[in-house]
Structure 1
Amino acid sequence: MREAADFLIQAASSGQRIVVLCHRNADPDAVASAVVLAEAMAGLGGRVKAAAADDLAAISEAVLNSFSRKIGVNPELDFDLAIFVDTSSFGHLGEFGQKLKDSGIPFAVIDHHKPVEEMRQLAKFYYVREDITSESELIYRILTEMGVKLTPDQASLLLVGVISDTGHFRFANPDTFAVVEGLLKAGADYNRALDLLKPPDDLSRRVAMLKAAGRSELQRINGRLIVFSDLGSFEGDAAGMLVRIGADVAFVGSEEKGEFRVSGRASPEFLKETGLHLGEMMEELGKQFNGSGGGHAGAASVTGKGSFEEVKKQIVKMLQKKLVKAE
């Protein structure tokens, strides 16, 4: 932690142009981490801005608007250093990631997902803590080590990130709540954070959830309930919904023009009993299907080339192998 703090302090004082960059379709945890870290480094005299690859999730735009914050998308490659947050590989940056990789611009990784050895080898600085439940929690700890005092809005933004990425604390641990206490002491507004994370009660989302339920396909593997469904939007929300109504693990995906994307969610009990790590599974699927994947033990995603049906068959094979060993 101290090493990460020292690296960021030095970078802020170096005079370099720095972009704190998060993954495509950036979620609240990603944008909160990027914005607050960029502001903190700018407060130390750095030439720093926050950015995301490709696009932001709708809920992330709403969160940032609530705090009168903005974040750039696909910034010009005119900076001297990129700092990846909530982003474990170039693949999570989409087409922009390939452009950045080809540019040769130095980059650092500060992340809480499963480590990626290629990135460790290429990065100017690499700090990954998979045991930490959200990127916002990791950024809070590092900023505390740096001696940065958060504003109430910054603390609230990070609290939104923590709540979001822990599934409203379903995946939290004791250290998570210690960070929440620190954020509240810094002025974070807990009720405001909860209100911002309420799912939009719009017709399109309700229809999507009903479609996902109606299209669901149930398979039993060693007594476990595995559910698949296809949907063109809200895939992560739909997978989470299927777990909440009874699935041990759910995968919701779509395909278009020979490419697919799949989001997976698993219940905490299932993860504890089986040792399954969805992030590892999605990373392997990404390699098999010429794409990229990763994430947490209980929430992960993958994109690649091929059909959703092909991916489903491979997921079943992987689960059969894993669950037979777990029994």
Structure 2
Amino acid sequence: MRDSSFIQAIAKRLEKLSGRVAAILIHSGGDPDSIGSAYVLSRMLSKAFGLRRILFRIPSEVSMHSVLLLEELGFAESEEDLEKADSFIVLDCGSPEQLNDLAWILGSGKPVVVIDHHSTSLEGFKSKAEVYASEEYQSVCEIVFDLAEYLGYRLSAREAEALFAGIYYDTVRLSVADS
């Protein structure tokens, strides 16, 4: 685990969502890192954190490779109105602009938690959200993997594949991986 205090802080924050409805949003168009992390985190929120319901949305038009990954995972955007969410979790989104037409959540009065590996999130979301960002990680999938490890959450083969796809993509086929 790269940063146990960072992961512990995320876990403590997510525990507060137990019994509630949360919406996971990712950056415009999506990519394997944002989709893989959203897929696994949505399952963890349900199984490990006891959320009542998890909604999922991708701002703007979804890219073709994202459509294929979503189909492979059997993971789909929620049809349900996002206003039904008690809180929002934003993954792999370096700035509010990447939320496009869903940026309204930042002024909704509901809690917004941003989990990212881009330090630009800290500045971009400032007082609009509670930001957990660390450049110790090359991808949000790595953060979710460490969260699973911290919680003792056993990943299914499909979940492990989703995280690997995101890590592989965001590290340019592991070429920018570190120890």
Matched, 1:26 2:27: no
Aligned to 1:112: 117
CA separation of 1:95 and 1:74: change in aligned 2, threshold 3 A: farther
How far is the alpha carbon of 1:103 from its aligned partner? 2.3
CA separation of 1:5 and 1:102: change in aligned 2, threshold 3 A: closer
How far is the alpha carbon of 1:154 from its aligned partner? 0.5
Question: Relative contact order, CA 8 A, sep 6+: which one is greater?
Answer: 2
Aligned to 1:129: 134
More strand by percentage: 1
Superposed CA deviations along residues 232-277 of structure 1, whole A, max 9, x for unmatched, are xxxxxxxxxxxxxxxxxxxxxxxxxxxxxxxxxxxxxxxxxxxxxx
CA separation of 1:118 and 1:58: change in aligned 2, threshold 3 A: closer
Task: Return the TM-score normalized by structure 2.
Answer: 0.86
How far is the alpha carbon of 1:104 from its aligned partner? 2.5
Aligned to 1:95: 101
Structure 1: gaps spanning 5 or more residues:
175-327
Contact 1:20 1:38 in 2 (8 A): yes
CA RMSD for the aligned pairs? 1.8
Matched, 1:138 2:143: yes
How far is the alpha carbon of 1:75 from its aligned partner? 4.8
Match runs of 1:181-220 below 5 Å: none
Q: Please tell me whether Structure 1 or Structure 2 has the larger radius of gyration of its CA atoms.
A: 1
Corresponding pairs, count: 170
How far is the alpha carbon of 1:130 from its aligned partner? 1.6
- Cα separation, 2, equivalents of 1:49 and 1:169: 31
Matched, 1:16 2:20: yes
Which of residues 142, 151, 154 in structure 2 aligns to 1:149? 154
How far is the alpha carbon of 1:118 from its aligned partner? 5.0
- Cα separation, 2, equivalents of 1:161 and 1:96: 23
How far is the alpha carbon of 1:89 from its aligned partner? 2.4
Q: Secondary structure at the match of 1:158?
A: helix
CA separation of 1:22 and 1:74: change in aligned 2, threshold 3 A: farther
Matched, 1:56 2:58: no
Aligned to 1:270: none
Moved over 3 A (4+): 72-75
Code of the residue aligned with 2:100 in structure 1: it is G
CA separation of 1:10 and 1:146: change in aligned 2, threshold 3 A: farther
Match runs of 1:244-283 below 5 Å: none
Code of the residue aligned with 2:36 in structure 1: it is A
CA separation of 1:138 and 1:155: change in aligned 2, threshold 3 A: same
